[in-house]
Amino acid sequence: MTDSALRPYNFSAGPAAIPEPVLRRAAAEMLDWPFPDGRRSGMGVMEMSHRGEAFGIILQQALDDLRELLAIPDNFRILFMQGGGLAENAIVPLNLSHGEAASFVVTGGWSQKSHAEAGKFCQARLAANAAVQDASGATSYTHIPAPESWQLDAGSRYVHICSNETIHGVEFHQLPDLAALDCNAPLVVDFSSNVASRPMDWSKVGLAFGGAQKNLGPAGLTLVVVREDLLGQAMQHCPSAFDYTLVAKNNSMYNTPPTYGIYMAGLTFQWIKAQGGVAALEAQNIAKAQLLYDFLDSSSFFSNRVDKACRSRMNVPFFLADESRNADFLAGAQQRGLLQLKGHKSVGGMRASIYNAMPMAGVQALVDYLREFEAKHA
């Protein structure tokens, strides 16, 4: 294995960098997972029955650690599922909508997809749409419409937001308080790309879901946190494996859960605890984001176009003033061990994803490179 000092910084939007101690621990336990009491299991985690003693311990530890880290109240159930964030765009309406109305706040590419998919299963209403068409017809998202301006349909079974738009770099720094807007519907939050990067105010939330591959572990695991009173409402044709009530009743083992993903997420939860928990990571994430945005704002060559009030701490899209140098920029970055900085195809430019696993030193190395590149080419 390479020495940690030689490992490049990985700015991928997802699947994204995993903390190195997590990878090392998984590597050490690959062939023979040890019980906490020191007994050897004689098996790797991928080879274990999900109903055996060893995996039972892994699952329970992961559930307990996650509940503690995110301060998830007792009246919420934690579900480990498959299908990713995109499948949840269908699974949520199948479980919550009764085929009736649901409202969507579209602030970027992901909530736009959620709104479109839900339309197959319910009456998907647009409560707000932040899309702006520029002169060339391209769509951009750079702001969050004020919650007071949202058109919240009285009959909506739920209101959907994406708390961090991974592609467009737009983040809710405060969850909306629907009750204060005279809306009794539960808030559904796609927190795929900022889960565990900051504390969560569960008093405002009915359900949150996210794929694991941004901040929690490998792709293939989907986290759902659902308030108990929202269970038991799935539509008749909801696939059994996607019925939250059945998944909850069977402690995420209605069918075989993504066992290795749960194990890796569990190791990540332990790593987060060792960092001082989610609040400590939030402080680091604020500092990392500020370092990068401050540089971008001070630069005449690089820029970020998102409103300062809702800039993402996790995903920072940016542009070169001279786009003909994009390929040059990426090649130089690669050479310095700054990987996967190319922007999403729908936005262009660059994107630096600086999730929990990205250390301050990685952001500093990026800013050093940006400064040097600007001095050479501006």
Which stretches of the chain bind ligand PLP, using CB under 6 A?
14, 84-86, 110, 162, 166, 190, 192-193, 211, 214
Catalytic residue among 65, 153, 190, 243: 190
Of 102 and 162, which CB lies nearer to ligand PLP in the complex structure? 162
190 is in an annotated binding site: yes
H-assigned helices in the chain: 20-28, 53-69, 84-96, 109-118, 244-249, 259-274, 278-298, 326-335, 360-377
Rounded Cα–Cα distance for residues 126 and 114 (Å): 11
Catalytic residue among 33, 110, 150, 271: 110
CA nearest neighbour of 267 among 2, 7, 25, 80: 25
Give the shortest CB-81-to-ligand PLP separation in angstroms.
Answer: 11
Q: Count other C-beta atoms under 10 Å from residue 7's C-beta.
A: 14
Using a 10 angstrom Cβ sphere, with 0-12 exposed, 13-18 middle and 19 or more buried, the burial of residue 336 is middle
Of 12 and 270, which CB lies nearer to ligand PLP in the complex structure? 12
Catalytic residue among 33, 150, 153, 214: 214
CA nearest neighbour of 17 among 368, 357, 341, 263: 357
Beta-bridge partners for 78: 225
Q: Name the residue whose CB lies closest to ligand PLP.
A: 84
CA nearest neighbour of 194 among 226, 220, 227, 161: 161
Give the shortest CB-194-to-ligand PLP separation in angstroms.
Answer: 8
Rounded Cα–Cα distance for residues 349 and 297 (Å): 16
256 is in an annotated binding site: yes
**110 tagged catalytic:** yes
Rounded Cα–Cα distance for residues 164 and 166 (Å): 6
110 is in an annotated binding site: yes
CA angle in degrees (0–180, nearest 5) for 235-226-197:
135
Give the shortest CB-336-to-ligand PLP separation in angstroms.
Answer: 26
Of 82 and 303, which CB lies nearer to ligand PLP in the complex structure? 82
Give the shortest CB-141-to-ligand PLP separation in angstroms.
Answer: 12
Of 54 and 352, which CB lies nearer to ligand PLP in the complex structure? 352
150 is in an annotated binding site: no
Give the shortest CB-252-to-ligand PLP separation in angstroms.
Answer: 17
139 is in an annotated binding site: no
**307 tagged catalytic:** no
Give the shortest CB-5-to-ligand PLP separation in angstroms.
Answer: 30
Q: What is the 3-state secondary structure (H, E, C) of 186-253?
A: CEEEECCCCCCCCCCCHHHCCEEEEECCCCCCCCCCEEEEEEHHHCCCCCCCCCHHHCHHHHHHCCCC
Of 313 and 367, which CB lies nearer to ligand PLP in the complex structure? 313
Rounded Cα–Cα distance for residues 208 and 6 (Å): 37
Of 43 and 219, which CB lies nearer to ligand PLP in the complex structure? 219
Binding site, annotated residues for pyridoxal 5'-phosphate: 110, 166, 190, 213, 255-256
Binding site, annotated residues for L-glutamate: 51
Residues involved in catalysis: 110, 190, 214
